[in-house]
A and B are shown apart, each in its own frame.
Chain A
Amino acid sequence: MLKDKHKRWSLYKKIGIFLAILGPGIITGSVDNDAGGITTYSVAGALYGYNLIWTLIPSFLVLIVIQEMNARMGIVTGKGLADLIRENAGVKVTFFIFIGLLIADIGNTTTEFAGVAGSMEVFHVSKYISVPVVGFLVWILVVKGTYKVAERIFLVFSVSLLTYVISAIMGKPHWDEIGHSIIHPDFPVNGKSLAMVLGIIGTTIAPWMQFYMQSSVIEKGLKMKNYKYTMIDIIVGCIATVVVAFFIMVACASTLYENKIPIDEAKDAALALQPLAGQFASQVFAFGLFVASIFSATILPLATAFYVCEAFGFEAGIDKKWDEAPEFYVLYTSILVISAGIILIPGAPLIAISLWTQVINGVLLPVVLVCMILLVNNKKIMGEYVNKPFNNIIGWSTVIVLVILSSMLILSPILRMF
């Protein structure tokens, strides 16, 4: 009888395993295209046309390599990245990484709420209504413990990010030019364009995602046996990220760049698209921004509170009650309140906030990556599953490139003073 029952299922077994494992990579990939990401891609497209699209190719490769390392570490050790860093790097290093991450993530969440505010303004809803309402809904969602349901709904919604394909096509892009620009990009090499390149890489490979990815792999209870499926999940997630980024850049490049309309925010892109590609394209763009912003505004504060607590040994998790994990909930609530609050201050320096957030992200990313590469090469931790030379080459080159880019960026305003 036992045999029959299993035989019946074996037909669907492979699809079943894949669907069960499906998630960490694809969710991380979707959260990746958050308000900050959409803004960066829009601005890049509007300022440099098709000429920065090539950055997506190395980003894609690095993204896969890094997420694979996270997944492997999670599967082999069953420990979160924050746990591993704390146990192997000591308190001081951990403290400075996590203070940086906390500040960067408050900045990131602020950007998400800016996305909510901006996208709803396209639909003529005041930010003084949209931001508090969304903030409260997000908070209730997590505290009342219906988060998992929400995550699934969001995942379905994140398909709406593909609406950017519609927006892009309605802008009538020049495909031959796109191909040409990828092979022969043409842009001035200066502080501004370097910042843009770093911004694109930084937003595609945000430091907090490494922690999020590893934790979700553990929560899913993935095993080395199903490594193949995990890999597919990661690749699908990375492709989704890069495809959406590509079409956002194309949408803005073929309309805003060609008409020389510079923008600062994703909302500007949505508004500016209206006369050029029609109202529908504009609203589709705004809707995508709205969904992406809420999705990330839910996950980001949660992930941040979670790994900060993990690193410092406080109880954490949405399955715990408020008095079982007070530090976790206080931290989570504060991040939400501070981020939503900043948006509501009239005349808040949003562009400066998103710029500084990206700078902190850019500085933290190599630090987190170095920790990761050292951990994943540690035989005591990883046993036989330490990095292959290929992973190390990609990993270390990324670190070197990032460090050079970041230091050029940080040093360029100082150098200009002389």
Chain B
Amino acid sequence: MTSTVPFFLSRIIGAKVFDPERNFVGTVKDLLLSADLTPNQEPIERPVVHGITLKIKNQVNHFSFDNFEVSKKNRKLLVLCNKLEELPENKKEESIPLAALVLDKQIVDLNGRKVVRVNDVRLVTINSITYAIAVDVGIEGLLRRIGIAQPIKFLFSLVKASVPSKFISWDDMEAIDYSNLSIKLNSTYSKLNTLHPSDLADIIEDLDNRSRQSVFLALDEEMAADVLEEMEPKAQIKIIEGMSVEKMADVLEKMPANEAADILDSLEEEKAELLLNEMEAESSSEVRELLEYENYEVGSIMTTEILAYQEETTVEAVFEDLRVNKPEAESLFGFFVVNKNNELIATFSFRDLAVSQPEVRISSFMNDDPIYLYDEQKMDDVAELVSKYNLLTIPVINKNHQLEGMVVIHDVIEDLVNKRRTNKK
């Protein structure tokens, strides 16, 4: 026979536990969720409650949940304890205490891509195994906790309305506040890696200092670099100041040089120097060059990762070069043609390349009257140029007409948005 008992965490916390002879055992303090999600057991991964924290005569201890039964009688929750058996040490370490880590804490809603606060946790016992199904983040949960859900629901039903309730399934959430936990769980934050870096950046900005640091540290370097790039300057500095120089240097190396330069520019001199010295020589010299530009100059937003070829190169050779070097997507926005002295002579687009025969030379389709910017020019007219000529990139040259880098449209937009935002604030 299958028995299904759904119940809320808030109802079981503080509940009295009795043994089969109806003797009082103790009161429930917390439920411990198994953090060990071995996927081979069940088709649907639901975390199982494997432990319970009881207060027995002023002593708080953790016990195995196997010998406990939860049932409902006249809407009241009954907790029966057949045998008190201490939870083994290794299981204790692999636990997520629900009341301490999830209830009333902030979690990440992976679908809504935002940080929300947990009002309650929904659990269910099926065939004497108890699972955590969802977290309650709605108003109904709040009212239930205060103890006025029933009367309010009744009042609402009089006007044929319902109290808004909202649940987030356990798969679609990630707990973030592990500050009360002394050990680090393996599965920590793994679900966050599925988010877009921009969304994750917004979420991390919303967190408190400690969670922000621990979430960021758990990301791999590529993701960390992408996320850091998308953050507001203030949050970037907070992250950097809380991290070790080695780890931070690794992350900065993975970032585009112009973004890394922006970050380093806003740091204190000694800290920036420390980071630059720790970074690999190749990345740091690029960043150092960019740091020399003032932040109103075109050079400060340009990227130095560009694709430049000699005019006699064939289309096939360009494609071969792309296959070998695998440049970032944004590098393909614009291609440049330089002479032996690295002076800019023309530009061409990916479209020109794609529609041409492999043996054709670049010189036959390149645009030899390109729009360009000087690296020390002020940034004011860049947006206008981009809009007027419908450009995705504009090459940047120095005063000797040598190609230094390019300005990409999204960096121009970012600059505009930031300017507007600072005006607004």
Contact = CB atoms under 8 A, between A and B. Distances in A.
Contact of A380 (B118, B147, B180, B241): B180
Contact of B291 (A2, A77, A148, A315): A2
B114 A2 contact: no
Nearest to B112: A315
B288 A2 contact: yes
A127 interface: no
Given A1-B291, A148-B425, A77 B209 contact: yes
B237 interface: yes
Contacts of A78: 207-210, 212, 238
Contact of A149 (B269, B273, B292, B425): B425
Contact of A87 (B105, B119, B146): B105
Contacts of A148: 424-425
Contacts of A76: 209
Contacts of A223: 238, 241
Contacts, number: 71
Contacts of B276: 2
Nearest to B179: A380
A145 to B, nearest CB: 6
B142 A91 contact: yes
Given A91-B119, A149-B424, A221 B237 contact: yes
A313 B137 contact: yes
A83 B208 contact: yes
Contacts of A380: 179-180
B254 interface: no
B104 interface: yes
Given A87-B104, A148-B424, A221 B234 contact: yes
Contacts of A95: 142, 146
Interface size class of A (residues with CB under 8 A): 20 to 34
B77 interface: no
A334 to B, nearest CB: 16
A379 to B, nearest CB: 12
B292 A1 contact: yes
A146 interface: yes
A388 interface: no
Given A76-B209, A149-B425, A313 B241 contact: no
Contacts of B245: none
Interface in A262-280: none
A53 to B, nearest CB: 39
Contacts of A2: 269, 272-273, 276, 288, 291-292
A90 interface: yes
Interface string B276-297: 1000000000001001100000
Contacts of A10: 269
Interface in A345-373: none
A355 to B, nearest CB: 29
A2 B106 CA distance: 41
A312 B117 contact: yes
A145 B147 CA distance: 37
A313 B209 contact: no
Interface string A1-30: 111011000100000000000000000000
Contact of A79 (B145, B208, B241): B208
B307 interface: no
A91 B104 contact: yes
B217 interface: no
B116 interface: yes
19 contacts: A2-B272, A5-B291, A10-B269, A78-B208, A78-B210, A79-B209, A83-B208, A87-B104, A90-B104, A91-B119, A91-B145, A92-B146, A92-B147, A95-B142, A148-B424, A149-B425, A221-B234, A221-B235, A380-B179
Given A1-B288, A91-B142, A92-B145, 4 more contacts: A77-B209, A79-B208, A95-B146, A312-B142
